[in-house]
Amino acid sequence: MKGKLIIFSAPSGAGKTTIVHHLLGKLPQLEFSVSACSRPMRKDEAQGVDYFFISVEEFKKRISNKEFIEWEEVYKDNFYGTLKVEIERIWKKGKHVIFDLDVVGGVNLKNIYGDQALAIFVMPPTIEHLELRLKLRETETSESIARRMGKAKNEINDANLFDKIILNDKLEYAFEEAEKAVASFIASE
């Protein structure tokens, strides 16, 4: 079996992580790709589960060694990327890779893998709704929310670069749409 990639991207707070976790519980042929990042670990996160947390210096070294299929510096000294070995590990198990990435990372992966990848953009109902979701998380400072909101407006403008857009105004509907799109893509040759 040739492995496929399913990419979920959205602005922070749009619900992509919730949808990806739902799909992982519904479709056993999927496995989550753990990204690497240089930001500090949050209290509810675990190394190798949520991210591979590595230092800025280590991240830059791995960039130099060409260990990433894609990476970006999202904010100053705040790197995120997908390790090549993570994709290969999942494909060796005979599974398809599912990603939860920011918009730039999602577009980069789609450009690299083309028809082997399904790129889905999760659209928030409104920009105000997105800001409320970020505030309700209680993991963000007012400065980080402002920074994320500025980025979100640009990301929404890039939604047309994705294969499919799922509006997340009703979570059950978003789950259903995601299940249909991913199952259909996996079944196609």
pLDDT digits (tens, 9 = 90+) for 57-76: 999 999 999 999 999 898 78
Q: State how far the Cα of 163 lies from the Cα of 182, in Å rounded to an integer.
A: 11
| pTM given for the model | 0.87
Other beta carbons within 10 angstroms of residue 189's beta carbon come to: 3
Mean residue pLDDT across the chain: 90
Query: What is residue 159's predicted lDDT score, i.e. its pLDDT?
Result: 93
Query: What is residue 158's predicted lDDT score, i.e. its pLDDT?
Result: 92
Split at pLDDT 50, 70, 90, the class of 20 is very high
User: What is the mean predicted confidence (pLDDT) over 32-58?
Assistant: 92
Split at pLDDT 50, 70, 90, the class of 129 is confident
Calculated CA dihedral for residues 147, 148, 152, 154, nearest 10 degrees: 30
Contacts of 100 (CB under 8 A, 6+ apart): 8, 16, 17, 20, 32, 35
Contacts of 89 (CB under 8 A, 6+ apart): none
Which strand ranges, in their side-by-side order, compose the sheet holding 96-101?
Answer: 30-32, 96-101, 5-9, 117-123, 164-167
User: What is the mean predicted confidence (pLDDT) over 141-166?
Assistant: 85
User: Given the structure tokens 């991240």, which residue do they identify?
Assistant: 59
Query: What is residue 111's predicted lDDT score, i.e. its pLDDT?
Result: 95
Residue 1, pLDDT above cutoff 60: no
Which domains does the chain carry?
Answer: 5-187 (3.40.50.300)
In angstroms, how far is CA 75 from the centroid of its own chain?
A: 16
Residue 144, pLDDT above cutoff 80: no
E strand map for 89-174: 96-101, 117-123, 164-167
The larger pLDDT score, comparing residue 147 to residue 96, is at 96
Structure tokens at 2: 């040739």
